[in-house]
Amino acid sequence: MKILLLGGGGREHALAWKMSLAPQTEKIYVTSGANAGLLSFCEDTGIDAQDGKALAKFARENNIQLIMIGPEAPLCSGVANVLRNQGLAVIGPDEAGARLEGSKIFAKKFMHKYGIPTADFEVFSDPAAARSYIERNGGKCVVKADGLAAGKGVFVCQSKEEAFEAVKATLEDKVFGAAGGEIIIEELLDGEEASILAFTDGKTIVPLESAQDHKRVFDYDQGPNTGGMGAYSPAPVVTDELKKKVMEKILLPTLKGIKEEGMDYRGVIYAGLMIGSKGVNVLEYNVRFGDPETQAVLPRLKNNLVDVFLSIERGRLADVQLKWDPRPAVCVIMASKGYPGSYTKHMEIKGVDLAAALPDTVVFQAGTVKKGERLLTSGGRVLGVTSLGNTIKDACEAAYKGVEQISFEGAHYRRDIAAKALAKN
């Protein structure tokens, strides 16, 4: 079977790696700009992931039997609709479903409508009204740009001053352009975060094993937010009891909403959770696999991922039984100097093969390019090293052993990935 994968980062490397292990996979094609890890075993179409028409033409001409959409941007711009309209088999929600990620206001209203627990919120487009709301509520809050802002549109504010800054940046300085034309101001919740990803075909919803991301750039959750500096799975904070609650109060009502809103949702829905003094609340939806969560979760999945995707596409998810490796996985991201601000590029990377040769360890590339025989950095997040271990401690030690094999100038990574899970053991 020939497969087309949209997107070219670490998440996509993990997806392609897992799909390549399926016996029916003959060839995987990728879109332009894919990293060197993907290009070492996938074929470049040279087509932009946003160009639905060109992708549909390519897929028809090349007898592509499965298309997997990795990132949110093509989902939010309706690429799944364009491909499905041509009779192609696609994993990813339609444009209506993708609004759950593409508009935070839409997502909050959806959660309210279907009784899904989430922080209280108000919507603003007028800065003066936003400021007076902040004054009335004492300053502590979270300000969120409505639209897609590459993970940068959320400001967790501990004071009135910080909240005013966030209102200025979004509504007045328009640093996110139209994506920040409207904002949400919501209650700041305490607790521990976890990511629950679930497969759905629009009729059935099946959670994957839990994961925890590490959003801040520095150890002990210091410094600015990033796309994610590491992940582990499972997240001990997601106990069996909590899993039941998540199914009942979050995933099933989400599925109900998907059905009632008439979305064509065949793909992955991701609920970012906060578990704390106010119970479990949804901070956000993503309409795709998380990055780096996918790099920690997929190595634990025992099923043939292509079969799972085909079942989803055909509306037969109810027939699928997911099987998991009980061993935990830890993924440590190595990033370029300066990330998440402006970062250096084209540093030579050494040692990837040495790390990948370690037992139960995989290296997923994210921001890399090949120049001749040399592997160079080309993005903020450069690669992720994932290891499985009998305990979370073993997995963690193995992943860091992998990281130590790899070097490039200015490389930085967090040293405390999975520390929260270790503390619970």
The DSSP bridge partners found for residue 216 are: 225
Q: Could you tell me how many residues of this chain bind ligand AMP (CB under 6 A)?
A: 15
Give the one entry of ligand GLY, ligand AMP, none that residue 96 binds, where binding means its C-beta sits below a cut-off of 5 to 8 angstroms depending on kind.
none
Site string for ligand AMP, 124-153 (x = CB under 6 A): ------------------x-x---------
Between residues 189 and 268, which has the closer beta carbon with respect to ligand GLY?
268
Give the one entry of ligand AMP, ligand GLY, none that residue 290 binds, where binding means its C-beta sits below a cut-off of 5 to 8 angstroms depending on kind.
ligand GLY
Task: Please pick, from the candidates 12, 182, 201, 284, the single residue that binds ligand AMP as defined by CB under 6 A.
Answer: 284
Give the one entry of ligand GLY, ligand AMP, none that residue 193 binds, where binding means its C-beta sits below a cut-off of 5 to 8 angstroms depending on kind.
ligand AMP
Q: Does 293 bind ligand AMP (CB under 6 A)?
A: no
Between residues 209 and 293, which has the closer beta carbon with respect to ligand GLY?
293
Give the one entry of ligand AMP, ligand GLY, none that residue 293 binds, where binding means its C-beta sits below a cut-off of 5 to 8 angstroms depending on kind.
ligand GLY
Residues lying near ligand GLY in the complex (CB under 6 A): 213, 228, 286, 290-291, 293
Between residues 281 and 405, which has the closer beta carbon with respect to ligand GLY?
281
Task: Please pick, from the candidates 92, 257, 267, 272, the single residue that binds ligand AMP as defined by CB under 6 A.
Answer: 272
User: Sign of the C-alpha dihedral, residues 295, 299, 305, 308?
Assistant: negative
Give the one entry of ligand AMP, ligand GLY, none that residue 291 binds, where binding means its C-beta sits below a cut-off of 5 to 8 angstroms depending on kind.
ligand GLY
CA distance 200 to 113: 20
The DSSP bridge partners found for residue 200 are: 205, 267
Between residues 228 and 267, which has the closer beta carbon with respect to ligand GLY?
228
Task: Please pick, from the candidates 47, 283, 385, 395, the single residue that binds ligand AMP as defined by CB under 6 A.
Answer: 283
The DSSP bridge partners found for residue 211 are: 195
Give the one entry of ligand AMP, ligand GLY, none that residue 264 binds, where binding means its C-beta sits below a cut-off of 5 to 8 angstroms depending on kind.
none
Site string for ligand AMP, 97-126 (x = CB under 6 A): ----------------------x-------
- Buried b / exposed e across 365-384, counting CB within 10 Å, b at 16+? bbbbbeeeeebbbbbbbbbb
Instruction: Report the nearest approach of ligand GLY to the CB of residue 222 (Å).
Output: 18
Between residues 94 and 193, which has the closer beta carbon with respect to ligand AMP?
193
Task: Collect all residues with Cβ–Cβ distance below 8 Å to 199 and sequence separation of at least 6.
Answer: 205, 206, 208, 267, 268, 308, 312, 317, 320, 322
Give the one entry of ligand AMP, ligand GLY, none that residue 283 binds, where binding means its C-beta sits below a cut-off of 5 to 8 angstroms depending on kind.
ligand AMP
CA distance 340 to 75: 24
Amino acid identity, residue 98?
A
Between residues 190 and 319, which has the closer beta carbon with respect to ligand AMP?
190
CA distance 378 to 369: 6
Give the one entry of ligand AMP, ligand GLY, none that residue 313 binds, where binding means its C-beta sits below a cut-off of 5 to 8 angstroms depending on kind.
none
Between residues 84 and 215, which has the closer beta carbon with respect to ligand AMP?
215
Cβ–Cβ < 8 Å for 29, 3:
yes
Cβ–Cβ < 8 Å for 62, 28:
no
CA distance 164 to 171: 10
Structure token digits, residue 50: 């946003």
Instruction: Report the nearest approach of ligand AMP to the CB of residue 324 (Å).
Output: 24
Residues 167-226 that bind ligand AMP (CB under 6 A): 186-189, 193, 215
Between residues 58 and 176, which has the closer beta carbon with respect to ligand GLY?
176
Give the one entry of ligand AMP, ligand GLY, none that residue 186 binds, where binding means its C-beta sits below a cut-off of 5 to 8 angstroms depending on kind.
ligand AMP
Query: What are the φ/ψ torsions at residue 175 (nearest 5 degrees)?
Result: -65, -20
Site string for ligand AMP, 366-385 (x = CB under 6 A): --------------------
Cβ–Cβ < 8 Å for 200, 206:
yes
Structure token digits, residue 71: 């990132």
Interface ranges with ligand AMP (CB under 6 A): 119, 142, 144, 154, 156, 186-189, 193, 215, 272, 274, 283-284
